[in-house]
Structure 1
Amino acid sequence: MSYLRFDKALMMNLEESLPREILRTNMSGAYHCTTIVDCNTRKYHGLLVIPVPNLDDENHVLLSSLDETVIQHGAEFNLGLHKYQGNNFSPKGHKYIREFDSETIPKTIYRVGGVVLTKEKIFVHHENRILIRYTLVDAHSPTKIRLRPFLAFRSVREYTNENPRASREYQLIENGIKTCMYPGYPELFMQLNKKNEFHFIPDWYRGIEYSKEQERGYHFQEDLYVPGYFEVDIKKGESIVFSAGISEETPRQLKRLFDEAVADRTPRDSFYHCLKNSAHQFLNKQGDNYYFLAGYPWFKCRARDMFIALPGLTLAVDEKNVFEKVMETAEKAIYAFINDEPLDPNIYEMEHPDVLLWAVWALQQYGKETTREQCRTKYGKLLEDIMEYLRQRKHENLFLHDNGLLYTNGTEKAVTWMNSTVNGRPVIPRTGYIVEINALWYNALRFIAEMSREGGNEVLAASLDEQAELTGQSFVEVFRNEFGYLLDYVDGYMMDWSVRPNMIFTVAFDYSPLTKEQKKQILDIATKELLTPKGIRSLSPKSGGYNPNYVGPQIERDYAYHQGTAWPWLMGFYLEAYLRIYKMSGISFVERQLIGFEEEITSHCIGTISELFDGNPPFRGRGAISFAMNVAEILRILKLLSKYNL
């Protein structure tokens, strides 16, 4: 029985099938994304969505979709599905679907009368190419397949509309055509492994609608250009491979290329394997540099997200070499930043005040998964240079005060992970002494002190320990209140008494200025007020401004983003804190909390975890369909659990 299999009843029920999406990436920035019934519901959806660096830093939809038509005895059965005005779907190809299986690669089984046809899709790693294999499992008479490509050639942020500028020109190539709608775009090569006929019948399909964009309060209609169609005979038992890419391929190599790509995939046959596959999809290899994207379909590589996600996406799936490759790229970016040199354009938000501290935390996890000696050998100098940079007060928005705490100005610009803005201003202006930044700071001081001492630098170690003593004492005095939890941020006489999850890091980190009893009080309050089955709330329901539902137009969602929504990545630190307090007796509790995420593997974007969830029942998934920090932290907790269960 497949872990990700959906039967005829679910596939034919569009209320059930349309919300379920599927994502595949080439691990170099390009992706394929749609619903499990191949009906696009977002402007971000497409069969071939790729970066076009000479235009901008966005992804672009070249091939939006491909409609298949089965032809027997002159009768045509169109397997495509598009939404038009008035909630009208055409041509309703989903009624022919008998099963969808995504264990190894996405596979749809269609039955049209006596015809049984399978469709399998695979995205080639590190190449802008998608392959689709059609296999005629059963047929009692001669059969043809017609393939009709829907072209967009536009940014994922925009829409295509019928216009005279779009080029209709195309050229025949071996077993296919190449075409390009607008200057600046690469040519799109569409080929089959078998000789076929291309019929040039150019037309625009007008008024295609994207329901997810409509839900989010955006414009949601566009026109797509169809240059014509390919038509090919197919025999019972025969497989035909369609290729769409930005370079020409040798048709006779397509079957081999497809088989090799399939053999390289890990089946999504368990919760762990789904998350591991999802982890791989965030990788973005550009030349010799390796990055992790923050999420799909619209996020770039963000420095904070990359460092938080790095241990879970690599070390937790026993891929130390990938950690080192990404960190090699990140290390160059860190030195460029601290030396005031040109920044890596592929890494965004390097200047945020907590980024270097999260980098230290990521390296700390590397030391725990390998050895302290190995960590010190590879990254000891980097750690000490980061610490020197911070202690010398060189960061333009991170000020080390005499009380040992780090002060940050966050009134004009969002500077932490709670980064939603409206009209250019932070929704939550966290400023002054921010709790997780100073928890990270204390943890970094103690960790680097120990690393320096083990490396023989007793002078630096003693200095850092002395700094940590002052920081720890001030941390407790400034943040801890009489109710047993921590203030979220403090700026002079302004204190944020909201119960937020940022205090949980002080319990989860290896080094904390709090006593065990103080940690337990924080954990208890987080459990009572912030814990949900899908993550940790960004604000307690008992605090002012609680807004748990991430719905409506952009401005409404921005106000709700960190005001009660639940975040799965925070659950990783919460559960780590829980195990620190309760140790072996906490294992069954942690295992129960993970069940809520396993349920999500077959909902929303199947095989991965959404960006955030509503803070109230039924805790619906929202935002980006696949989010790196969420996948990473759940994987990290699974790895931590495995150590407790040894």
Structure 2
Amino acid sequence: MSYLRFDKTLLTNLEESLTREVLRTNRSGAYHCSTIVDCNTRKYHGLLVIPVPELDDENHVLLSSLDETVIQHGAEFNLGLHKYHGDNFSPRGHKYIREFECEKVPTTLYRVGGVVLKKEKVFVHHENRILIRYTLVDAHSETILRLRPYLAFRSVRQYTHENAQASRHYDEVENGIKTCMYPGYPELYMQFSKENTFHFQPDWYRGIEYPKEQERGYDFNEDLYVPGYFEFNIKKGESVTFAGGISAIDTASLNDLFTYEVEKRIPRDSFKNCLINTAHQFLNKQGEESYILAGYPWFKCRARDMFISLPGLTLAIGEVEKFEVVMQTAVKAVYAFMNGETTDLKVYEMEHPDVLMWAVWTVQQYAKMVSREAAKEKYGQLLKDIMTYLADGKHPNLQVHDNGLVYANGREKAITWMNSTVNGRPVVARTGYIVEFNSLWYNALRFVADLFVEDGEFSFRLNQIADKTAVSFIDTFLNEYGYLLDFVDGNMMDWSVRPNMIFAAAFDYSPLDAKQKKGVVDIVTKELLTPKGIRSLSPKSGGYNPNYVGPQIQRDYAYHQGTAWPWLEGFYLEAYLRIYKRSAISFVERQMISYEDQMTCHCVGSIPELFDGNPPFQGRGAVSFAMNVAEILRTLNLLAKYDNQ
């Protein structure tokens, strides 16, 4: 039985099936995302969603969906599913689904009377093309398959509505057509591996609704344009492949291309293999540059997320070369920032004060998982330049004070990973001496000093600053209750119990002694640990708001006020293993197992952005989040090392 398989009972229950989404990417920015019953529930959903750099920096939905109709003896059975006003679903094709599985590729099995039809989908790597293979598994009489494309040609941030400007023009191409609704967009090629007839029957399907957008407090209604339909006979045992892309393709090659792409996939037949497949989806190649997308479906490449995610998404699964390829682009972005240069690199938020220190941490993981010599050879100059830049006070919003601590101004703008804002101002205005910034700073100072110990003057300078930092860190952050203040700005001290203290206990170099680390880990365990990550705020602290629901402003206030984040648990479990060593293994294994049920809900085979901080710990936000997947993979790698000791 497939690891990721869903039966008829669940699939025909829309309350269950519409909450489960499937994501596939081409690793160059394009993706396909929908629910397991192919009913789009978000404006970000679509069969072919691609970047259109000529228009803007967003993704665009070209082909929203493709409805199948099985015709036998003149009777039509439409397998499509769309939501309309008043909780009406039409044409309710989900009732014909017998099973869905996606161990290798998303596969749906339909049964209509004596007809059994199999549908398989695959995205061509590094090409804006979706392939769908239809196989008539069984049929007792002549069968016709009709396919009706729903077109959007719009940004994922917008909606399309019936209008007179949309072009109805199309041209015939080999076994299909090409069309483009608006100027500036590429043409959409829809072709088949078999000859077919296209019936031009233009119409708008009005009032299609997206309930996930309604839940989020956004507009949720649009119209989709259907230019007509394709129709062909299909025989028992025959396979016909559909290709939707922005360039023509040799249709005789489609069946072979589909088979080739399937063979390249790693089966999602275990928890770890699901995460490895998902890790690959975040890798994003644009021209000569390679990035890590922060998540799907709406995130771009954010600098902090990239550096935190990179070791887990690559090194932890033995893919050193991919780490080095992404770092080539990341290094360019770091130097462009430090030199004050404008760049067309698509790495965002490089200016945040902790980003350069996370870059040092990333290289530190490379040194641990590959070798210190290789790290020094490849990234040694980068480390020296970053530490000199920071120590010399050149960062526009990170100053090294005489006490050795780093200071950043976050009153007006969110500068940490807790970055939610309302009316342009941070919900949590973390400013001054920020606990994880100074944990990162101390760790970076000691690591780079150790790596360049033979460079006496440079190493001595960093160690001298670190000595001051260590004393000031304890004096500033450690309180009489044994945990660390979240931030300190003059007489302002934030006593909230937050997870940001865990980094001081997790990093290789820490100003805390063993007893102090244990105190931090113990209070995180007691007040912040959940089965789905570490809470962003303790229930005992003021302002606890654990449910990430409702309209945008309501969600912004809850975003970092009690919601649980899996990526933080990676650092928590690393600290836990440091303190309790082999006796911690069974505990860490149990925490990892608690994520396995996510493989069959929310986004199938992935981990969502965050979870509610209270039971039942519902997954929320982006359907697939890089830092979460990365830190679970890095934890599994740490666990394996302890098991092998």
TM-score clears 0.5? yes
| Distance in 1 separating the partners of 2:333 and 2:359 | 11
| Distance in 1 separating the partners of 2:459 and 2:388 | 12
Deviation, structure 1 residue 462: 1.6
Question: SS where residue 207 of structure 1 aligns?
Answer: strand
Which stretches in structure 1 are left out of the alignment for 5+ residues?
Answer: none
| Distance in 2 separating the partners of 1:201 and 1:236 | 29
The C-alpha deviation readout for 1:500-543, integer Å capped at 9, x for no partner, is 00000000000000010000001000000000000000000000
Which residue in 1 is equivalent to 2:287?
A: 287
Corresponding position: 1:563 with 2:561: yes
Which residue in 1 is equivalent to 2:536?
A: 538
Which residue in 1 is equivalent to 2:160?
A: 160
| Distance in 2 separating the partners of 1:593 and 1:251 | 48
Which residue in 2 is equivalent to 1:194?
A: 194
Which residue in 2 is equivalent to 1:524?
A: 522
| Distance in 2 separating the partners of 1:412 and 1:167 | 46
| Distance in 1 separating the partners of 2:572 and 2:511 | 17
Question: SS where residue 451 of structure 2 aligns?
Answer: helix
Q: Which amino acid aligns with 2:594?
A: G
Q: Which amino acid aligns with 2:27?
A: M
Question: SS where residue 109 of structure 2 aligns?
Answer: strand
Which residue in 2 is equivalent to 1:630?
A: 628
Which residue in 2 is equivalent to 1:577?
A: 575
2:474 equivalent among 467, 473, 476: 476
Which residue in 2 is equivalent to 1:606?
A: 604
- Superposition map of 1:295-314 within 5 A: 295-314=295-314
1:597 equivalent among 584, 595, 598: 595
- Superposition map of 1:104-183 within 5 A: 104-183=104-183
Question: SS where residue 387 of structure 2 aligns?
Answer: helix
Q: Which amino acid aligns with 1:411?
A: R
Question: SS where residue 228 of structure 1 aligns?
Answer: strand
Which residue in 1 is equivalent to 2:262?
A: 262
Which residue in 1 is equivalent to 2:425?
A: 425
Q: Which amino acid aligns with 2:44?
A: Y
| Distance in 1 separating the partners of 2:588 and 2:257 | 42
- Superposition map of 1:52-131 within 5 A: 52-131=52-131
| Distance in 1 separating the partners of 2:251 and 2:148 | 19
Q: Which amino acid aligns with 1:558?
A: D
Which residue in 2 is equivalent to 1:333?
A: 333
- Superposition map of 1:20-39 within 5 A: 20-39=20-39
Deviation, structure 1 residue 344: 4.0
Corresponding position: 1:619 with 2:617: yes
Contact 1:433/1:489 (CA < 8 Å) preserved in 2?
A: yes
Contact 1:333/1:344 (CA < 8 Å) preserved in 2?
A: no
Q: Which amino acid aligns with 2:195?
A: K
The C-alpha deviation readout for 1:324-381, integer Å capped at 9, x for no partner, is 0000110011111111111344010000000000000000000001111111011111
Corresponding position: 1:404 with 2:407: no
Question: SS where residue 341 of structure 2 aligns?
Answer: coil
Question: SS where residue 546 of structure 1 aligns?
Answer: coil
Corresponding position: 1:640 with 2:625: no
Question: SS where residue 222 of structure 1 aligns?
Answer: strand
Question: SS where residue 601 of structure 1 aligns?
Answer: helix
Contact 2:333/2:345 (CA < 8 Å) preserved in 1?
A: no
Distance 1:324 1:41, change over 3 A: same
Question: SS where residue 131 of structure 2 aligns?
Answer: strand
Corresponding position: 1:458 with 2:445: no
The C-alpha deviation readout for 1:82-116, integer Å capped at 9, x for no partner, is 00011010000000000001000000000000000
Which residue in 1 is equivalent to 2:315?
A: 315
Deviation, structure 1 residue 72: 0.5
Question: SS where residue 229 of structure 2 aligns?
Answer: strand
Corresponding position: 1:493 with 2:510: no
The C-alpha deviation readout for 1:260-304, integer Å capped at 9, x for no partner, is 100110000000000000000001101111100000000000000
Which residue in 1 is equivalent to 2:378?
A: 378
> 588-597 or 496-505, which moves further after superposition?
588-597
Contact 2:198/2:228 (CA < 8 Å) preserved in 1?
A: yes
Contact 1:356/1:386 (CA < 8 Å) preserved in 2?
A: yes
| Distance in 1 separating the partners of 2:567 and 2:597 | 16
Contact 1:179/1:188 (CA < 8 Å) preserved in 2?
A: yes
Question: SS where residue 237 of structure 2 aligns?
Answer: coil
| Distance in 1 separating the partners of 2:93 and 2:113 | 13
| Distance in 1 separating the partners of 2:345 and 2:333 | 9
| Distance in 1 separating the partners of 2:406 and 2:199 | 67
Contact 1:61/1:154 (CA < 8 Å) preserved in 2?
A: yes
Which residue in 1 is equivalent to 2:271?
A: 271
- What percent of counterpart residues are identical? 74
| Distance in 2 separating the partners of 1:344 and 1:74 | 56
| Distance in 2 separating the partners of 1:497 and 1:462 | 35
CA RMSD after TM alignment: 0.5
| Distance in 2 separating the partners of 1:85 and 1:337 | 49
Which stretches in structure 2 are left out of the alignment for 5+ residues?
Answer: none
| Distance in 2 separating the partners of 1:603 and 1:281 | 18
Deviation, structure 1 residue 256: 1.1
Q: Which amino acid aligns with 1:274?
A: C
Q: Which amino acid aligns with 2:595?
A: F
TM-score under structure 1 length normalisation: 0.99
Q: Which amino acid aligns with 1:503?
A: M
Deviation, structure 1 residue 459: 1.7
